[in-house]
Amino acid sequence: MQKTYLDYNASALLKPEARDAILAAMDDPGNPSSVHWAGRGARKIVEDARVAVAHHVGVKPDAVTFTSGATEANNLALKGFGAPDQPVRRIVGATEHESVLDVVPEAEILPVRPDGVVDIARLQRMLADRDWRPCLVSVMAVNNETGIEQPIYEIVRNAHAAGARVHCDAVQAIGATGGLNMRERGIDILTLSSHKLGGPRGVGAIAVAPDLELHAIQRGGGQEKGLRSGTENVAGIAGFGAVCRAAPGYAEALQSAAALRDRLEEELLERRPGTVLIGQNSPRAGHVANIALLGVPAETQVMALDLDGIAVSAGAACSSGKVKTSHVLSAMGFGEEISGCAIRVSFGWASVEEDLERFLTAYLRMADRLAVD
């Protein structure tokens, strides 16, 4: 059976540059903290990658700390903000990834409007309600389930005017758009994941503005200037650096991915006029479609498409493999009848026309068979 991969938001296909860099780094012995020749070789791999990642997001290399992925980076952003034991205030967007939303139970939730964009007037009111605690506002650049973009400039402007700082989970933004300039946008803390950009899984980074200091949330050997103890994942970091370095060369491929998404939505609207396309009129990144097929549970759709060799997901992929109702769609005001029946189709750097054709054929056949409308 032909396999069709349309789940780039869960994990992008590995780019050849990453594979080459990983394999080369695997053959390089040494611990980056060792002072001998082997350690120095590993250190060079890590530092070269740091330069590439930093360049990709418009910051100086010493702003970047490598982590095991964006989940760890997001935890560090939220828990490491402020001095240890200092009470801090955190305001987090209602459609954030669980690695932001579920980290600190006392965080205040910033709602989104029905179009999925955070309610700026509400943010202003929350910020006006000042207290003495340092405040962190955490809003992602691009949503992983819907592709909806948040107005980061406006969020930063409002937060800074009130003396608050901004964390931005840019995991999907760097995958979807190729890059995002942290300094230019005035973001104070940025978190990244390599595998959404076509690098290896299990490696990510956090970048912190020069005038801000986070405190470590794990103790150990003091690597990464004490902010993230633990021997660096040298091969993973090498792969991450390689995809950042190669990113400009993929700009055209990302444009093609966006064109495929647009064609998918046009075809669906034409061939099934009642199709519900979530976020269709919202500011949105170009590579993802979120499609509800009323009356057919999302898991059923994912399994039916899988039988045809097509990999898509029901909302966000989660570790248990089970699907739960999307908190993103719920926050936008969708009821179970829509959010329980929505699948996510995401294109990426290696997506081609045939992927779209195969998806359409399988999807329309499934919809004819299963849909209640």
In angstroms, what CA-CA distances link 162 with 38, 123, 137, 167?
49, 11, 11, 15
Structure tokens at 301: 């759709």
Question: Do residues 230 and 218 touch, judged by C-beta distance below 8 A?
Answer: yes
| Number of neighbouring beta carbons within 10 Å of residue 70 | 27
Structure tokens at 209: 């503005």
Q: Which is nearer to ligand PMP, 140 or 338 (CB)?
A: 140
Q: What angle separates helix 37-56 from helix 234-246, to the nearest 10 degrees?
A: 40
Question: What residues make contact with ligand PMP under the rule CB under 6 A?
Answer: 69-71, 74, 97, 99, 140, 144, 169, 171-172, 193, 204
Q: Which residues of 266-300 are buried (b: 16+ CB within 10 A; e: fewer)?
A: ebbeeebeebbbbbeebebbbbbbbbbbbebebeb
SS (H, E, C) 110-126: ECECCCCCECHHHHHHH
Q: Which residue is nearest to ligand PMP (CB)?
A: 69
Q: Which is nearer to ligand PMP, 171 or 296 (CB)?
A: 171
Contacts of 219 (CB under 8 A, 6+ apart): 229
Q: Which is nearer to ligand PMP, 275 or 290 (CB)?
A: 290
Q: Give min distance, CB of 230 to ligand PMP, in A.
A: 15
Structure tokens at 8: 């780039």
Q: Give min distance, CB of 193 to ligand PMP, in A.
A: 3
Question: Exposed, middle or buried by CB within 10 Å (0-12, 13-18, 19+), for 186?
Answer: middle
Q: Which position among 168, 244, 318, 341 bears the catalytic label? A: 318
Q: Give min distance, CB of 141 to ligand PMP, in A.
A: 9
At 205, is the secondary structure helix, strand, or coil? strand
Q: Give min distance, CB of 139 to ligand PMP, in A.
A: 11
Q: Which is nearer to ligand PMP, 171 or 342 (CB)?
A: 171
Q: Which is nearer to ligand PMP, 349 or 363 (CB)?
A: 349
Question: Do residues 169 and 140 touch, judged by C-beta distance below 8 A?
Answer: yes
For tokens 């097509």, what's the residue? 310
Q: Give min distance, CB of 29 to ligand PMP, in A.
A: 27
Q: Which is nearer to ligand PMP, 171 or 298 (CB)?
A: 171
Q: Give min distance, CB of 228 to ligand PMP, in A.
A: 14
In angstroms, what CA-CA distances link 105 with 122, 334, 339?
20, 24, 24
Is 318 known to be catalytic? yes
Catalytic residue ranges? 318
